[in-house]
Structure 1
Amino acid sequence: MKQGRRITIREILAAQGTVAKMRLLEGEAGLDRYIDHARIQKPSLAFAGFTKNLSDYRLQVIGQTELQYLATRTETEQQQAVDAVFALRLAGVVVTRNLMPPDIIREAARRTETPLIISEFPSSTFMTNMMLFLSDRLAPVVYQHGVYMDIFGLGVLVTGASGIGKSEIGLELISRGHRLIADDMVEFSRKSPGVVVGRSPEALRYHMEIRGLGILNIRDLYGAAAITDAKRLSLVVEMVPWDQLAPEDRVLGEESETELLDVSIPRVPVPIRSGRSLAVLVEVATRNQLLKQRGIHSGEAFVQSLQKRIDQGK
């Protein structure tokens, strides 16, 4: 299930107040207003009277240029411009360079209960740092059932029907020196175009459920080297019953992809059959993916070689 994300001004101040050198000046009653987009706006055109595209769900930044422009207007024009902007009930306004905003802005913030914040950083520095923070916190998120492992440096998601043995495969991979990221429920977020990062929900972190053994704390059992917090998703390995795999796929394998947060991720089906070492097969699938990332496609090379021999009459 894909979930939209938001963050309140209170949470931003708690997480970035010291780092971004911010302090609240007015509007404490509005600290629970939220933003849902990492893009930051500057209300330059809004102070000139064009407020159409000003979003009340984005952080607004007022810098030296905006304050200097306001100072060139008459008192009546200033009042009209500031009132029009703050009437939108903005989520929050930040004044940069440690500049003290004029009384007309402070009064409008108090009247509309809009958080008015001062930062010591210049606008460019503040906006760059804050957008990086917000991009991470507001990244699209989806939750996926499976076991998520760090195998040979790649993030590998093992999926399959409930009870098929995913956690047992993960436990064997841990015993073979690989690292657990998440078991049962994995939280994936898109950090940038083409990049999906997976981690465990906090309540489940470092734990696995093994039927017959109960809930195991992998960090306590195997040490800190057996766990890691997050990894970019590079491969999905799907456990499927043997009889559900087409005959040609058993020999040549299936080149396919799955969509997660609008990003295409390589997918490999692994048929389950008694006597097969599934952990070894997951390792091999991961090694093969590493080769593909380097431009080496073993299956394609085999088919090309076979076709060449057929063409030569051998």
Structure 2
Amino acid sequence: MTLARRITIRELLAAQGEAAKMRLLAGEAGLDRYIDHPRMQKPSLAFAGFIEHLSDYRLQVIGQTELHYLATRSLQEQQTAVDAVFDLRLAGVVITRNQTPPDIILNAAKRTDTPLIVSDDPSSTFMTNMMLFLSQHLAPVVYQHGVYMDIFGLGVLITGASGIGKSEIGLELISRGHRLIADDMVEFSRKNPTTIVGKSPDTLRYHMEIRGIGILNIRDLYGAAAITDTKRLSLVVELVPWDQVAAEDRVLGEDSDTEILEVSIPRIAIPIRTGRSLAVLVEVATRNQLLKQRGIDSGDDFVRSLQHKIDEGGQEL
């Protein structure tokens, strides 16, 4: 389940008003309008009459250049240009460098209930800092069922059918010194084109459900060293019934990728049956992934070595 992210101007002011030195001048009635994209726009071309690509769901930033250009036009041209921009019912407009907006902009903001904000920062500083904040806040989010663990420093998602034993394996891994991030429901967000970060929803944080025992608070049971809040996702381990895995895959393994938020993540399937130490197998799979990240692939090395022996005539196989 992927969720679209957005933030209202009211929430933005509450979160970043002090840091970005912002104060509201007009348009209080429009504070619940929202932004759904981290990139901002400067309405330079819009003041020249081209408003086709001006987005009402992005923050608009007016700096010295825009105000100076607007002042070069006649009063009628200014009125027409400003009205065309504000009639879009923009999410919010920020004027930088603590500049006093001309009455024509102030009146348009009041008329259309558009939040008009002034920041002390110059445009470049304001836009850089605000984009960093919005990129984090508006990052795409998806929720996945599973147990998310920090194992040897890697974020490992353990998945599988309901009742297959994911939480029990997670609990054993915790007892072996690894750290819980989330149980049952994991919130993943894409921080950049190649990075997925996972955490627990607030209501479930630090808790695990173990059938027959109930809800456990891992922080209370094992201490703060047994939990962590977030981690980059590096590996997905899928637990599958033994009879659903082909014989050759049980021997050579089944490496593949799975896609989360359009990012490919290494995936390995581990067949389960009574008597296998699954926590140890998950540890080994994680160690093997660490080796692969360093350019060492044991399976590929074995296959190449075997093929070399075959090519030499099969001696000493």
- Structure 1 and Structure 2 fold alike (TM over 0.5): yes
What residue is the counterpart of 1:201 in the other structure?
201
Q: Percentage identity across aligned positions?
A: 81
Q: 2:298 matched to 1:274?
A: no
Deviation for aligned residue 1:311: 2.1
**Which residue in 2 is equivalent to 1:234?**
234
- What is aligned with 1:135? 135
Aligned to 1:163: 163
Output one character per residue of 1:35-87: Cα deviation in whole Å (capped at 9) or x when no partner: 11111000000001101100000000000110111111111111111111000
2:254 counterpart of 1:257: no
User: Which string of whole-angstrom CA distances, capped at 9 and with x for unpartnered residues, describes residues 161-210 of structure 1?
Assistant: 00000001001111111111100000111110011111111111111101
Distance 2:96 2:254 in 1: 55
Matched AA of 1:208: M
Q: What stretches of structure 2 of length at least 5 have no aligned partner?
A: none
Partner Cα separation in structure 2 for residue 169 and residue 113 of structure 1 = 55
In structure 1, C-alpha distance between the alignment counterparts of 2:213 and 2:66, rounded to whole Å: 64
Q: Find the aligned partners of 2:226 and 2:25 in 1 and give their Cα distance.
A: 47
Give, in whole Å, the separation in 1 of the partners of 2:219 and 2:103: 55
User: Which blocks of at least 5 consecutive residues in structure 1 are unaligned?
Assistant: none
| 1:233 partner SS | strand
The AA in structure 1 aligned to 2:125 is T
In structure 1, give the amino acid aligned to 2:269.
Answer: P
Q: Which residue of 2 aligns with 1:284?
A: 284
- Which residue identity lines up with residue 161 of structure 2 in the other structure? A
Q: Which residue of 2 aligns with 1:4?
A: 4
2:66 partner SS: helix
The equivalent residue for 1:18 is 18
Alignment of 1:1-314 (within 5 A): 1-312=1-312, 313-314=314-315
Look up the equivalent residue of 1:285 and give its one-letter code. A
Q: Deviations over 1:269-309 (max 9, x none)?
A: 11111111111100000000000000000001111111222
SS in 2 for 1:114: coil
Please list the CA deviations of residues 75-108 of structure 1 after superposition, one character each: whole Å capped at 9, or x if unmatched: 1111111111000000000000111111111111
SS for the counterpart of 2:164 is: coil
Cα deviation for residue 3 of structure 1 reads 1.3
Q: TM-score, normalised by structure 1?
A: 0.99
Aligned residues: 314
The code of the aligned residue for 2:63 comes to G
Q: TM-score, normalised by structure 2?
A: 0.98
Q: Please, what is the CA RMSD of the aligned residues?
A: 0.7
Q: Distance in 2 between matches of 1:22 and 1:151?
A: 42
Corresponding letter in the other structure for 1:138: L
Amino acid at match of 1:241: P
Q: Distance in 2 between matches of 1:176 and 1:240?
A: 23
Q: Distance in 2 between matches of 1:172 and 1:103?
A: 67
Aligned-partner Cα distance in 2 for 1:169–1:121: 51
